[in-house]
Chain A
Amino acid sequence: MKLSVVVLEGPYTHEASDSAYNLIQAALKKGHEINGVFFYHDGVYNVTKFMEPPQDDRHISRRWMELGEKGIDIVVCIAAGLRRGIVDKIQTSNVRISGLGQLAKMILESDRVIVFGD
């Protein structure tokens, strides 16, 4: 199945980003295709490159960067991002900023869209 994932909450404070990541890993293992990930609301904070968690904690933005490296389209909403000071130059690599139209596109292209939020 072709899946898209929407993340609505920021990293560490909330589990949404972890749950989304874990679902993606499990889905890939089962042979599903991940069409894209869309970050919205405080979810846009998940992919800043200045994140530096303690060594024994998971590195959330690196996880998303690595999924992007695999060719999964990782998109940060520009409206939600700009409002919060999330711009291209503070983002990790393999991630792009784009409009809400990308979310609409993911809905059109995917068999399922799964939302992780509060």
Chain B
Amino acid sequence: MNESSEVRNVMVVVRKAPHGTIYVQEALEVMLIVAAYSMNISVVFLDDGVYALKKGQDTSELGSKPFMSAFRALVDWEIEHVYVDRDALKNRGINENELTEIGEDENTGEPVHPQVLSHKEIYKLMQEQHTILSF
């Protein structure tokens, strides 16, 4: 079963709010490394994890490493498959237009947005993964 030659589908699941605990900050570090290892990486934001993609956050007074800007440039790290749970947004009163862009299309220069998906669509994607790293 161990076919290391085949490209792995790896999904990072972000479930927690971006501040207050270090989970999201360190999850980001994992995303960037996994992406560098030529795996098919996707990232899903669920539950309070959706707050990580909310635009206009100023964390300068928290004293922690300023990592939020990386979410606005995920595409630069070859992380293009970024999904957000529709219900989680709705339950928290967040509109899709409040979400940050995750970078620019390298050909057109157009902003790339995270894709908002239903539970069913996310479930389907999860079934296609070799590894799911949940943070």
Contacts and interface: CB of A to CB of B under 8 A. Distances in A.
Interface in A71-118: 79-80, 99-101, 103-105, 107-113, 115, 117-118
17 contacts: A2-B2, A41-B22, A41-B23, A79-B26, A103-B33, A104-B33, A104-B34, A107-B8, A107-B34, A107-B130, A107-B131, A108-B4, A108-B8, A108-B37, A113-B133, A115-B132, A118-B23
Contacts of A109: 2, 4
B34 A111 contact: no
Binding site of B, secondary structure by majority: helix, strand, loop or mixed?
mixed
Q: Give the top 9 A-B pairs by smallest Cβ distance, nearest first.
A: A104-B37, A100-B33, A113-B131, A111-B1, A107-B131, A2-B2, A108-B4, A111-B2, A115-B134
Interface of B: 1-2, 4, 8, 10, 22-23, 26, 29-30, 33-34, 36-37, 39, 130-135
Contacts of B23: 8, 41, 118
A1 to B, nearest CB: 7
Interface of A: 1-2, 6, 8, 40-41, 79-80, 99-101, 103-105, 107-113, 115, 117-118
A113 B132 CA distance: 8
A113 B125 CA distance: 17
